[in-house]
Amino acid sequence: MADTSTPSYTPRSRWLDRTTPPHIITLVLIAGIGALNMNIFLPSLPTMATWFTADYATVSLAISAYMGATALLQIFIGPLSDRYGRRPVMLVSTGVFVLATVGCLLAQSIETFLAFRFLQAVIVTGMVLSRAVVRDMVGPDRAASMIGYVTMGTAVVPMVGPTLGGQLDLYFGWHGSVAFLIMAGVAMYALVWADMGETNHTPSASFGAQFRAYPELLTSRRFWGYALVAAFASGTFFTLLGGGPFVATVILGLNAAEFGLYFALIAVGYMGGNFLSGRFAARVGLDWMMVIGGCTAAAGTIIAIVLFGAGFLHPIVLFGPMVLVGMGNGLTLPSANAGMVSVRPHLSGSASGLGGALMIGGGAALAAIAGALLSVESGVWPLLLIMLATALLSVLCAIYVIRRSRKVALLPAE
């Protein structure tokens, strides 16, 4: 049977005491800086293309290729933290991030900038370890609640990141965003040093042993169930991220500023779903929260399909129902993430990293597919149909996890 027991010790976090587990505010911030670094450059891409005398497609690698780098790094961050501990891995990663960001600030060519930009991706450590640390501290149901609150906090960052980056670019050019990230990185290093006590009290024997333990994780059907729930649920959002700008600007006639305002509705829904997850996951249970979340996202997509099919062509017809998609993700992802790191608690770091890589990698692939299929002739339909398919697949995977969990309860080992 999978080990989903509560940790054998009961930690009590004390703010700015590195002998105790980190405060939840610290977990929100270490996850949030990774989200901020991902999108603060968005408004500055045209400015950077001009400054570096590079084409826009090359400069946009600062976003698209960066996401690929974060997906790859997550595979290694988890095992490293399972072997050497959460605290030292977070400190080293934050230090490397600060140095890489200084390199971005001093870069004189787009090639140099992108090299340091990809090195910045190491800050995804905060996203990975925030989940693993929560699972170190509490059992699976409470982990879903805590992860819900953590991700609710970090949901604010994608909303304010581009706005902050745009204002910094207005007054200081693209260098302003980089300078802000340096200051944020230094502050984060100080916070991790002062507050993030070690929570991994059963480290693996060696880094190689940690990778050799991967088959134990990869052969767990429940891990794959939770991971696929997370991948398909986040894929619904990434599909909207990839195809939404085309639909909004070309088909619905919005400008960039209007699109940004409408898109904020999705983030509001996501925050609401995370809040509800934090309140009710422990009572409802991980598996049923995933089912409810997937059905909520599917319902939002179906409403949009019905309205567009009836001939309505207005931005609110797309973005209004997408509030339910955001809420569905907020309900689903905390429980899916908690489930991934709870199937094998001694491999929670590895599970968090591998699961995160599947989420981002799969989501990026779906975004690319949606972008490739959309055209003026196709209208909004490829976007909505892919979103509906991924939402329904997340529900099916959640139902599989429920059925598998019932079987596992009767087996000596999963």
Q: What is the pLDDT of residues 373-406, one digit of tens each?
A: 888 888 899 999 999 999 999 999 999 999 998 8
> What pLDDT does 182 receive?
97
Report the CATH number of the 213-414 domain. Answer: 1.20.1250.20
Given a cut of 70, the residues of the chain with pLDDT beneath it are 1-12, 64, 139-141, 144, 148, 151-156, 158-159, 205-213, 242, 256-257, 260, 409-414
> What pLDDT does 294 receive?
97
The CA-based dihedral angle spanning residues 71, 114, 185, 81, taken in that order and rounded to the nearest 10 degrees: 30
> What pLDDT does 4 receive?
47
Question: Given 3.40.50.10300, 1.20.1250.20, 2.40.30.30, 2.40.50.140, which CATH number is that of 13-211?
Answer: 1.20.1250.20
Q: Which residues of 341-352 are buried (b: 16+ CB within 10 A; e: fewer)?
A: bbbbbbbbbbbb
> What pLDDT does 3 receive?
47
> What pLDDT does 39 receive?
76
> What pLDDT does 10 receive?
45
> What pLDDT does 110 receive?
93
> What pLDDT does 271 receive?
83
pTM of the model: 0.73
Which residue's entry shows tokens 């990839």? Answer: 242
Residue intervals in the chain for CATH 1.20.1250.20: 13-211, 213-414
